[in-house]
Amino acid sequence: MAAHAGCDCMFRPMEGQPHILVVDDHRDIRELVGRYLGKNGYRVSTADGAPSARKILKSSAIDLVVLDIMMPGEDGLSLCRHLRETTDIPVILLTAMAEETDRIVGLEIGADDYLVKPFNPRELLARIRSVLRRTQALPPSREPKPGPAYRFAGWLLDPGRRELVREDGVAMPLSTGEFRLLVAFLDRPGLVLTRDQLLDITRGREAAPFDRSVDNQVSRLRRKIEPDARNPTLIKTVWGGGYCFSAEVERT
């Protein structure tokens, strides 16, 4: 069972299943929900608050977030608003009986559903299945949302136009896979990313077990952006770990 820093654990019954993130500051609720969803075929990560949830969201492709509203520090509404502004990940809010105003605000800022505490895990499971059916009516998109451009090592990447341009004005074409991989690195400079994490971020449930396409994509990307692809200085291999993007990245 793999562990994330800042979270409890991951319940991973089988690969290829939707990945649910449960965020609640009450450990007993996180563990109960995690075990129950794991027994029903879902991969589950748990987090005790917004900071640890944000770390998991950066390193994993999450398909749905079960999110408690009332948490110390950054509350669930703030995290929900962040998710709506930056992703298409569906959100189910957990609320207390007295939080009617918060439930309304949550729905207004983009939550897909809510459940009042105390709740029956079977009802949560039914709501998760319903929300996933609605949101997955079309194939899930792993395309990064257009946002600010990235500058790094003499290159400019514009996600909106999907253009990679060298400082001398020469444009470098990128395949869909290379574009997704580069954005994954640029969003996480200095962080060691394993092959499994890169597959999860860029391909989600489309990734097959033991998929080696990440290594091929990295090799092709190095040939396009490295001064010397045989001695890479931007995308470094971490033996036994994965890959790390070592250049400074500026968002413009």
Distance CA 31, CA 24 (A): 10
Distance CA 172, CA 98 (A): 55
Whether a cis peptide bond, with omega within 30° of 0, leads into 139 is no
CATH of domain 7-135: 3.40.50.2300
pLDDT, tens only, 25-55:
999 999 999 999 999 999 999 999 999 999 9
**Residue ranges of domains in the chain:** 7-135, 150-251
Reported pTM: 0.56
Buried residues in 29-54 as b, exposed as e (16+ CB within 10 A): bbbebbebbbeeebbbbbbbbbebbb
pLDDT, tens only, 187-228:
899 999 888 788 777 765 444 444 456 888 898 899 999 999
Q: How many residues does the chain have?
A: 252
CATH of domain 150-251: 1.10.10.10
Share of the chain above pLDDT 90, in %: 40
Which residues of 84-241 form beta strands (DSSP E)? Answer: 91-95, 113-116, 150-152, 155-158, 163-166, 171-172, 192-193, 235-238
